[in-house]
Amino acid sequence: MTPKHLLSIDDLGREGIEEILGLTDSFVEVSARRIPKVPALRGKNIAWLFYEDSTRTRLSFETAAKRLSADTMNFSVGSSSVNKGESLRDTCLTISAMGVDAIVVRHRSAGVPWQIANWIDASVINAGDGWHEHPTQALLDTYTLRSHLGDLDGRHIAIVGDIKHSRVARSNLAAFTALGAEVTMVAPQTLLPPSLEGWNANVSHDLDAVLPTVDAIYLLRMQLERQTDALVPTLREYTDGYGLTTQRLAALGEKALIMHPGPMNRGVEICPEAADDPRSVITEQVANGVAVRMSVLFLLLGSGAEHEAGGLS
Amino acid sequence: MTNAVLRQSVLIRGGTVVDASGSRVADVLVGSDGMIEAVGEGLKGDLELDAGGCIVSPGFVDLHTHLREPGKEEAETIESGSRGGALGGFTALVAMPNTTPPMDCVGVVRDVIELGKTALTDIFPSAAITVGRAGEQLSPMAELAKLGVRIFTDDGTGVQDDLLMKRALEYSVGLAPFTGGASVVLAQHCEVAALSDGGFMHEGEWSSRLGIPGQPAEAEELMVMRDIALAKSTGARVHFQHMSTAGSVSLIRAAKAAGLPVTAEATTHHFTLTDAACASFDTVFKVHPPLRTDADVAAVKVGLADGTIDAIATDHAPHCAHDKEQPFDSAPPGMLGLETALALALTELDQPVEKVVGLLSWQAAKIAGIDDVHGCPIEPGRPANITVFDPAEAWTIDSSSFASKSTNCPYEGHNVKGRVRHTIVNGEPVVIDQEATR
> Which CATH number does A135-285 carry?
3.40.50.1370
Q: CB distance from B162 to chain A under 8 Å?
A: no
CA distance A296 to chain B (A): 23
Of B122, B275, B315, B390, the catalytic one is B315
Q: How far is CA B64 from CA A66, A186, B304, B316, in A?
A: 56, 45, 17, 7
CA atoms within 13 A on the CB side of B227: 35
A129: which chain B residues are within 8 Å (Cβ-Cβ)? 211
Domain-located, residue B420: no
Rounded Cα–Cα distance for residues A107 and A110 (Å): 7
Answer yes or no: are the C-beta atoms of B180 and B120 closer than 8 Å: no
Give A 11-50 residues with CB within 8 A of chain B.
none
Beta-bridge partner residues of B421: none
CA distance A158 to chain B (A): 19
Yes or no, beta carbons of A115 and B281 under 8 Å apart: yes
Q: CB distance from A108 to chain B under 8 Å?
A: yes
A110: which chain B residues are within 8 Å (Cβ-Cβ)? 210-212, 281, 328-329
Yes or no, beta carbons of B204 and A131 under 8 Å apart: no
Rounded to 5 degrees, φ, ψ at B105 are: -150, 165
pLDDT over 90 percentage in chain B:
98
Q: What's the fold here for domain A9-133+289-308?
A: Rossmann fold (3.40.50)
- Local confidence band at A85 (pLDDT 50, 70, 90 cut-offs): confident
Rounded Cα–Cα distance for residues A245 and A299 (Å): 40
Cis peptide before B290 (omega within 30 of 0): no
Answer yes or no: are the C-beta atoms of B145 and B128 closer than 8 Å: no
Which pTM was predicted? 0.95
Q: Which pLDDT tens digit goes with each residue over A228-255?
A: 788 999 999 999 999 999 999 999 999 9
- pLDDT above 70 (res B105): yes
- Local confidence band at B32 (pLDDT 50, 70, 90 cut-offs): very high
Count of Cβ atoms closer than 10 Å to residue A4 Cβ = 12
Domain-located, residue B422: no
- Nearest-CB residue to A111 (from B208, B214, B328): B328
B12-24 exposure pattern, b = at least 16 Cβ within 10 A, e = fewer: bbbbbbbbbeebe
- pLDDT above 90 (res A225): no
Of B384, B376, B381, the closest CA to residue B34 belongs to B384
B203: which chain A residues are within 8 Å (Cβ-Cβ)? 194-195
- Local confidence band at A265 (pLDDT 50, 70, 90 cut-offs): very high
Rounded Cα–Cα distance for residues A167 and A158 (Å): 16
- Nearest-CB residue to A112 (from B208, B216, B327): B327
- Residue range B400-416: mean pLDDT, rounded: 98
Count of Cβ atoms closer than 10 Å to residue A89 Cβ = 18
- Residue range B78-93: mean pLDDT, rounded: 98
- Local confidence band at A76 (pLDDT 50, 70, 90 cut-offs): confident
CATH number at residue B342: 3.20.20.140
Domain boundary assignment for chain A: 9-133+289-308, 135-285
User: How many structural domains does chain B have?
Assistant: 1
Beta-bridge partner residues of B354: none
CA distance B207 to chain A (A): 8
B328: which chain A residues are within 8 Å (Cβ-Cβ)? 109-112, 115
Yes or no, beta carbons of A110 and B204 under 8 Å apart: no
- pLDDT score, position A303: 64
- Helix H or strand E encompassing A63: helix A56-67
The type of residue at B63 is L
Q: Give every CB contact of residue A79 below 8 A, 6+ residues apart in sequence.
A: none
- pLDDT above 90 (res B49): yes
Q: Give every CB contact of residue B399 below 8 A, 6+ residues apart in sequence.
A: B336, B407, B408, B409, B412
B315 catalytic, yes or no?
A: yes
Rounded Cα–Cα distance for residues B256 and B254 (Å): 5
Q: Which pLDDT tens digit goes with each residue over B363-384?
A: 999 999 999 999 999 999 999 9
What is the C-alpha radius of gyration for chain B, rounded to an integer number of angstroms? 20
B281: which chain A residues are within 8 Å (Cβ-Cβ)? 110-112, 114-115
- Local confidence band at A80 (pLDDT 50, 70, 90 cut-offs): low
- Nearest-CB residue to A114 (from B203, B204, B281): B281
- pLDDT score, position B106: 98
Yes or no, beta carbons of A131 and B330 under 8 Å apart: no
Q: CB distance from A205 to chain B under 8 Å?
A: no
Answer yes or no: are the C-beta atoms of B122 and B65 closer than 8 Å: no
Answer yes or no: are the C-beta atoms of B158 and B191 closer than 8 Å: yes
Mean pLDDT value across chain B: 97
Q: CB distance from B329 to chain A under 8 Å?
A: yes
Answer yes or no: are the C-beta atoms of B335 and B409 closer than 8 Å: yes
- Residue range B305-317: mean pLDDT, rounded: 98
Q: CB distance from B207 to chain A under 8 Å?
A: yes
Helices A282-301 + A135-149 axis angle, to 10: 120
Residues in chain B: 438
Evaluated on CA atoms B365, B371, B374, B376, the torsion sign reads positive
Beta-bridge partner residues of B431: B423, B436
Yes or no, beta carbons of B211 and A170 under 8 Å apart: yes
CA distance A302 to chain B (A): 28
Yes or no, beta carbons of A107 and B327 under 8 Å apart: yes
Yes or no, beta carbons of B208 and A132 under 8 Å apart: no
Answer yes or no: are the C-beta atoms of B374 and B387 closer than 8 Å: no
The type of residue at B189 is H
Which strand ranges, in their side-by-side order, compose the sheet holding A257-259? A202-204, A182-186, A156-160, A216-219, A257-259
Domain-located, residue B197: yes
Q: How many CB pairs under 8 A join A and B?
A: 71
- pLDDT above 60 (res A66): yes
Predicted complex ipTM: 0.94
- Local confidence band at A313 (pLDDT 50, 70, 90 cut-offs): very low
Q: CB distance from A228 to chain B under 8 Å?
A: no
Mean pLDDT value across chain A: 93
A105-120 exposure pattern, b = at least 16 Cβ within 10 A, e = fewer: bbbebbbbbbbbbeeb
- pLDDT score, position A305: 37
pLDDT over 90 percentage in chain A:
87
What domain range includes position B72?
Answer: 56-368
